Structure 1
Amino acid sequence: MNNFLFVAAENDALPDCKAGGMGDVVRDVPRQISERGDRAHVVVPSYSRLHQNGTLKTHLHFRLRGIDYTAELYEVVPKKEFGNLHHYVIHHPEIEEGDIAHIYHNDPTEPFYTDAIKYIIFCTAVAEALKREAFGKVDVVHMHDWHSSLVLFLKKYHPSYNGLKKMRYVYSIHNLAIQGIRPFGDNYSSLENWFPELELDYGALMDYRYQDCVNLMAVGIRFADAVHTVSPSYKEDVLRPSSPPEFIGGEGLEKDLLEADNEGRLFGILNGCNYSNIRVAAKGKLYRNTVKALFRWLQEESKKYKADFLAHTGEKVMRYVQNHPKFIVSSVARLTEQKFYFFKRSPEAFVEILKKLEKIDGIFMLLGTGAPEYEDLFRQMSYDHKNFIFTNGQSEDLIDSIYLESDLYFMPSLFEPCGISQMLAMRNGNPCLVHHTGGLKDTVSHLKTGFSFDGDTYDEKIRNMLTCFDLALDVYTNDRPQWKRIKANAKRKRFTWKKSVDEYYRSLYLL
């Protein structure tokens, strides 16, 4: 029996421990491993809350900043139990929850300042737990994004953790654009402050652009035995330099990624999607679930500043309770540059889409929270356009209803490492309209399972996005047999975790 440890910032197998797609992967891959008869352990930070009601397994003692630290390892109960699968959290008072999904901190003046501190403590505690064999004798350590890469730094450079070298280390990249860059020194949130006893190898650790800084994403790429992007097309994208906004590629790390590829360490494997035990809302409850979510948010202290907008959204939704629109376009996403740059830079294109929908009695529903400038844009759009419903919050019931009752799912991502939303929409038989990039290339086929657009220049992409939208509406309105074929094809597509994890075993784990 092989023994795996997954190290990540998120794990959607636990309640309230997800901000994005990484949480889905860290939930589903260990389940697949356990179903094969191997043993898997998953460890994430407690964020000062997830350890409550857990079982204390051990105290972990280590040194940081030249002083003694003690963290606590708890085993916790997941949403669903699987044999040979154990979930843990590490608690320390300095590993606090952030303001993004109660996980990450938003440090606008000094990016990654607070997060780097908590993940340094977390990763050192994980290294100590591995050294103490708190998870048994581990064969493979599978780490996710920059938050976990410090385990590799400790294995390579810290004399206390030399024993960790006998395991195999796999590093998954979920979002190459977020790299965890921090100064080497002269800062509380720096490597020299937290590891004053270590001689740092500045050349091996540095960011190419900011050479007085460590790049923790690069650490994962440089030191792992296998590096993994979450789709084959994203692997091809990241080997080329970025040229924004036309193309988002290696984000300054293409040299490291090319080296990993040449060494046979880089693999592009598409994420899977869950097709069993699906949490599904009852059909016909879309507007009711929207109103329920709005009432709940209105009672939350943190939402008080946008109470007027939430009430405005409720009024808009009530119009459709009796008179349903004839066509629903939807998007569910974090409101970030990655997801909605096209709408932020070209709001007139979004207005054009709303006008096209108005002609066929259609609406656009967007659900999400995120960057303040994106929230502000969409709130103003909602005030200005009666057929745009912007639900500015998070609700699982409402998300399920949106996926269930939409006609077309819209995903104009600037770049997309894999994407889960298009898979969830297709699972319900919803055609998707997507930008032809990254994992969206690998999942949506133009005029077969959905619609896609691209272009050589930014302006061409915007024009093609609108042309593609016209095409989707034309097929829906004037060629119902083709629309039904596209829907049926989308629903039949299967991106299974079994297939993905088979490839993990062959290429990443070498088992």
Structure 2
Amino acid sequence: MKNVLFVASEAVPFIKTGGLADVVGSLPKYFDKTKYDVRVIIPKYLCMADKYKESLTFKTSFYMDLAWRTQYVGILETEYDGVKIYFIDNEYYLGGDKPYGEMFTDVEKFAFFSKAALSCLPLLEFRPDIIHCHDWQTGLVPVYLKDRFYKDPFFYGIKTIMTIHNLKFQGIWDLNKTRDITGLSMYYFTPDKLEAYGDANLLKGGLVYADIITTVSNTYASEIKTKFYGERLDGLINARSNCLRGIINGIDYVDYNPETDNYIKKKYSIKNFRKQKIKNKLALQEELGLEVNSKKFMIGIVSRLTDQKGFDLIAYVMDELCSLDIQLVVLGTGDEKYENMFRHFDWKYFDKVSANIFYSEEMSHKIYASCDAFLMPSLFEPCGLSQLMSLRYGTVPIVRETGGLKDTVEAYNEYENTGTGFSFANYNAHEMLDTIRYAMHIYYNKKRDWNKIIDRGMAKDFSWKSSAKEYESLYDDMIG
């Protein structure tokens, strides 16, 4: 039996701010339980829902030094979907109404969490062969493992993986203050270790000291070696490229299943979508006050409204886009300028544009099930989950060829009749608009071909099962 411990700052259903929580909460369920014992450790935030806090049982507690401070560490546990989850408790660090705050408090909070996650292991009757760390919040785990814990026989031979979910977020803070917070010696704060451009960088520490680095798609693994995508760590990524692997994320095929989804008006499958999917579209048009017309080309967007997601491209051509024979349904929150832009166009083209500036799980499912196409023109996208959900629901993705979007959406080729969506290469608003026009042309004039694109997309398997197999293979390579 191979023992693996996921260490992360969030996991569904307990606490979620983004896609990281989906990975940490869903992936462990899909490992072969006869060969891999995969467990998870996350912080016990005060802002967690009461129903989850009440499901936890107290395991043990102790006091731990963090530099010159002594801090209480409580350990609680539960089992969820057959996976054992541990929680680190400390109300001083983990209070507040949200999991993340200002960087100076977060650096101390996650230094505490990283050290506590290692310190508690001898008390858990669980010795991991591999500690799988996720994002900058756990970047100090491989560092502490090589520093404070290497003399303890319990920790001999434990391997570490550092997974980058988004290289943009690195945990950067003042070098001397970080040294004081972490209790690490000056030895670690040099340019070949945690120091970067005059500051301390927690993710960099993890990338330097982990045995293996993974990221969430093959293309993103290549992209982060370049200056444009490398977020000033491309030199280090290149230096460690022999240890770098890209493994695509998946989605939960139970939660996202048009045959069983209770959020949607009419359930459907790959066999009957031609007749049934359209009923969801008509219901959504009516609900949102759009023109009720089964033939209208309806484009969906479910996203954070930020520059990273390509909304500057959409803003640039929004009037031209609205002049086309389409409907546009937007769901999400983000930068005020984009929220207000969509509100304005909702007012200006009230029967064509529906701006839903909030987030709703139910509405997101309705959009995936109802729209004809799904627009995702990201500047960069480490993996992306929305395009996987849209493929699952037979909604054809229109994406920019970057990161996981490039790896998961095969561009339609009308001469060979292949492909699962439409894509464009350059970060250019009119190239995006031309791709939308091309998709419209196929939708309106080559309906049989359009339905075959949906067929191929719905037949793809982007469930966690295939990702889990790749991680199993990686774990086997690491520990034999």
Is TM > 0.5 for Structure 1 vs Structure 2?
yes
Alpha-carbon distance between aligned partners in 1 of 2:85 and 2:38, rounded to the nearest angstrom: 9
Alpha-carbon distance between aligned partners in 2 of 1:199 and 1:422, rounded to the nearest angstrom: 45
Distance 1:206 1:228, change over 3 A: same
Equivalent position of 2:273 in the other structure = none
Alpha-carbon distance between aligned partners in 2 of 1:97 and 1:401, rounded to the nearest angstrom: 35
Distance 1:373 1:90, change over 3 A: farther
Alpha-carbon distance between aligned partners in 2 of 1:197 and 1:253, rounded to the nearest angstrom: 22
Distance 1:59 1:400, change over 3 A: same
Q: Per-residue deviation at 1:226?
A: 0.6
Match for 2:193: what amino acid? L
TM-score normalised by length of structure 2:
0.86
Q: Per-residue deviation at 1:318?
A: 4.9
Residue deviations 1:41-62, cap 9 Å, x none?
A: 1111122144721111111321
Alpha-carbon distance between aligned partners in 2 of 1:381 and 1:321, rounded to the nearest angstrom: 15
Q: Per-residue deviation at 1:414?
A: 0.6
Equivalent position of 1:454 in the other structure = 425
Alpha-carbon distance between aligned partners in 2 of 1:318 and 1:30, rounded to the nearest angstrom: 38
Equivalent position of 1:23 in the other structure = 21
Alpha-carbon distance between aligned partners in 1 of 2:339 and 2:129, rounded to the nearest angstrom: 44
Alpha-carbon distance between aligned partners in 2 of 1:330 and 1:178, rounded to the nearest angstrom: 28
Equivalent position of 1:355 in the other structure = 323
1:39 aligns with 2:20: no
- Alpha-carbon contact 1:7-1:43 (below 8 Å) kept: yes
Distance 1:127 1:462, change over 3 A: same
Alpha-carbon distance between aligned partners in 1 of 2:111 and 2:79, rounded to the nearest angstrom: 25
Equivalent position of 2:474 in the other structure = 507
1:328 aligns with 2:306: no
Distance 1:135 1:6, change over 3 A: farther
Residue deviations 1:177-220, cap 9 Å, x none?
A: 111111112xxxx3223134734422133443x22x11112112
Alpha-carbon distance between aligned partners in 1 of 2:330 and 2:60, rounded to the nearest angstrom: 45
1:183 aligns with 2:151: no
- Alpha-carbon contact 2:9-2:138 (below 8 Å) kept: yes
Alpha-carbon distance between aligned partners in 1 of 2:79 and 2:46, rounded to the nearest angstrom: 16
Match for 2:423: what amino acid? S
1:193 aligns with 2:193: no
- Alpha-carbon contact 1:281-1:401 (below 8 Å) kept: no
Distance 1:35 1:196, change over 3 A: closer
SS at match of 1:95: helix
Match for 1:27: what amino acid? G
Distance 1:318 1:192, change over 3 A: closer
Alpha-carbon distance between aligned partners in 2 of 1:339 and 1:439, rounded to the nearest angstrom: 13
Unaligned runs of 5+ in 2: 268-283, 413-418
Alpha-carbon distance between aligned partners in 2 of 1:274 and 1:40, rounded to the nearest angstrom: 17
- Alpha-carbon contact 2:31-2:469 (below 8 Å) kept: no
Q: CA RMSD in A?
A: 2.6
- Alpha-carbon contact 1:335-1:370 (below 8 Å) kept: yes
What does 1:342-381 align with in structure 2 at a 5 Å threshold?
A: 342-343=312-313, 347-356=315-324, 360=325, 362-381=326-345
What does 1:215-226 align with in structure 2 at a 5 Å threshold?
A: 215-226=201-212
Q: Out of 107, 121, 124, which is 1:116 matched to? A: 107
- Alpha-carbon contact 2:3-2:129 (below 8 Å) kept: yes
- Alpha-carbon contact 1:48-1:93 (below 8 Å) kept: yes
After superposing the two structures, state which structure 1 stretch, 214-223 or 498-507, moved more.
498-507
TM-score normalised by length of structure 1:
0.81
What does 1:99-498 align with in structure 2 at a 5 Å threshold?
A: 102-105=98-101, 107=102, 112-130=103-121, 132-134=122-124, 136-158=126-148, 163=153, 164-185=155-176, 190-196=177-183, 198-203=185-190, 204-208=192-196, 210-211=197-198, 213-242=199-228, 249-261=229-241, 264-276=242-254, 278=256, 280-284=261-265, 318-320=288-290, 326-343=296-313, 347-356=315-324, 360=325, 362-386=326-350, 387-447=352-412, 448-455=419-426, 458=427, 461-498=428-465
Match for 2:411: what amino acid? H
Q: Per-residue deviation at 1:32?
A: 1.4
Count, aligned residues: 446
Identity of aligned residues (%): 30
